[in-house]
Amino acid sequence: MVTTHKFLKSTILSILIVISGIVSSAYAQADSTKYSSVSDFMKKGTVSGSSRSYYMYTDNQKGLTDYHGLATGAGIAYQTPVLKGFSAGFSGYFIANLHSSDFEVLDEATQNPNRYELGLFDVTNPNGKKELTRLEELWVKYQKKNTQIMYGRYVPKNMFINGQDGRMRPTMVQGLSFATKIRKNDFEAQWITKMSPRSTVNWYKVADTFGIYPVGRNKDGSTSGYEGNTTTPGILIVENTNRQIRNLKLTTGFISVPNVFQTYYVNPEIKLKKWEFGLMTVAQHQLANGGSAEMVNSYSQESDKPFILSGQIAHKIGKQRFAINYTLISANGRFLMPREWGREPFYTFMPRERNEGAGNVNAISTNYNLAISSQFKLGASYGFFKLPNASDPVLNKYALPSYSQFNVQLDYVPQGVFKGLAFRALYVRKDGADSSIENPKFIFNKINLSIVNLILNYNF
């Protein structure tokens, strides 16, 4: 409790220092006809708010435990006016557990915990029933023409390190960001030192985010030991998006996690009037000792050198869009990217499952989207994902069997008096490709299950 109070006091003090700095500068330097007083300056800022209510229910195979969760939350944000290129902002959010399963109860057959619904709250405190609060954005930004420098806490938007906003609140990061536009190039560099992963309320050093979510297995089958044993100062992201050629967007970049691993990616995308083509290539390798001097505690192994190829062909007909996608993860190592940091960007990605942690993967999927009207949108996806045998820890970190998945999603955005509301219903069905699998540890929360998601958002 003392630590929490210290954190709150230091954070509030930081907010006051940032805001007072901007306000003082504004009052001292701004045209008096623009800001008649400090109060007037503050009133010219932007206040926004949001709320979300989320119901999730997982129906596991008969004989295994089902779970449900109902959460609601709301938050508010403030951003100062821009003065001589400078601005600042902050936000906070709270989450309440309205009615949920007891997440301390393990499944009797597997002795494994809940996977999905706990993510609506704080995965580090499964028995927590009290209201959760998180101080989120806190940044100061300077912008001049096409160049922007920002320091503080914000939602990341990288391909691999992103908000992954599929629960109540997104993943957030703290660091220094530099972005500039040069001709038809958008260049960005980020140095990230802290994170508050989705489904948590605290802020952690980057090294301490390894292992907040389930850790899976080492290649010898033992439980991975990198939680609390990983050493790294942060994450370096460098990315450039080029639009020199008409209809072509070419994104290239790398993510370097000193002492742990490095990831390179190239992603050309072509968008024509009725056709879209995308291709993504990704390569990874270990840096130094993979995070720890002891191999059993290393996040990345020297033998992990996967190559990933992911592509998409899409066709638009009126208000409809059809797409076919394919992803290959090579067999020379497991594709690794901490799930705490964001969701994978592969074209075959489907909400509620990932292929991170596996190698020798072949995945194919199709997507169908229909804009029924300006208020209603319908989406459906089906995919088949061929993975190594679930009993093979060398190329299957999380013991996930091959599976098929079907998603259907309906979005409704009302207008008029209900403007600002947005409703989403998502149904997910996953089935194992091998009906002979009997080990409940390979089934529970992985295959032969259905997930219902009902989400109501309000932004103002």
Question: Using CA atoms, how far apart are residues 329 and 308, in angstroms rounded to an integer?
Answer: 5
Q: Supply the pLDDT for residue 4.
A: 44
Mean of the pLDDT values across residues 315-334? 98
Band of residue 130 on the pLDDT scale cut at 50, 70, 90: confident
Q: In the predicted model, what is the mean pLDDT of residues 34-55?
A: 88
Instruction: Give residue 352's region: left, alpha or beta (phi > 0; psi -120 to 50).
Output: left
pLDDT at 60 over 90: yes
**Which of the four pLDDT bands, split at 50, 70 and 90, describes residue 42?**
confident
Torsion angle of alpha carbons 253, 254, 255, 257, nearest 10°?
Answer: -160
CATH number of 45-459: 2.40.160.10
Percent of the chain with pLDDT over 90: 88
Calpha distance 303→300 (Å, rounded): 8
Bridge-based pairing state of the strands 275-286 and 261-271: antiparallel
pLDDT the model gives residue 400:
98
The pTM of this model reads 0.92
Neighbours of 99 (CB within 10 A): 9
Q: Considering the chain, what is the average pLDDT of its residues?
A: 94
| Distance (Å) of CA 451 to CA 117, 120, 285, 430 | 10, 14, 35, 9
Query: For 402-424, what is each residue's pLDDT tens digit?
Result: 999 999 999 999 999 999 999 99
Average pLDDT over residues 25-29: 53
Cα–Cα distance for residue pair 7/314, rounded to 1 Å: 48
pLDDT above 80 for 259: yes
DSSP string, 346-393: -TT-BTTB--TTB-SEEEEEEEEEEE-SSSEEEEEEEEEEE-S-TT-T
What local confidence, expressed as pLDDT, does residue 10 receive? 55
Return d(Cα 205, Cα 173) in angstroms, integer: 10
- pLDDT interval class at 205 (50, 70, 90): very high
pLDDT 10s digits, 1-19: 444 445 445 555 555 565 5
Phi, psi of 55 (to 5 degrees): -115, 130
Could you tell me the CA-to-CA distances from 260 to 229, 230, 313, 338, 360 in Å, in that order? 12, 8, 34, 11, 22
Please compute the mean of the pLDDT values over residues 251-265 and round it to a whole number: 99
* Predicted pLDDT at 71: 98
| Cα-Cα-Cα-Cα dihedral sign, residues 37, 40, 45, 49 | positive
Measured distance CA(189)–CA(185) in Å, rounded: 13
Residue labelled with tokens 């299957």: 396
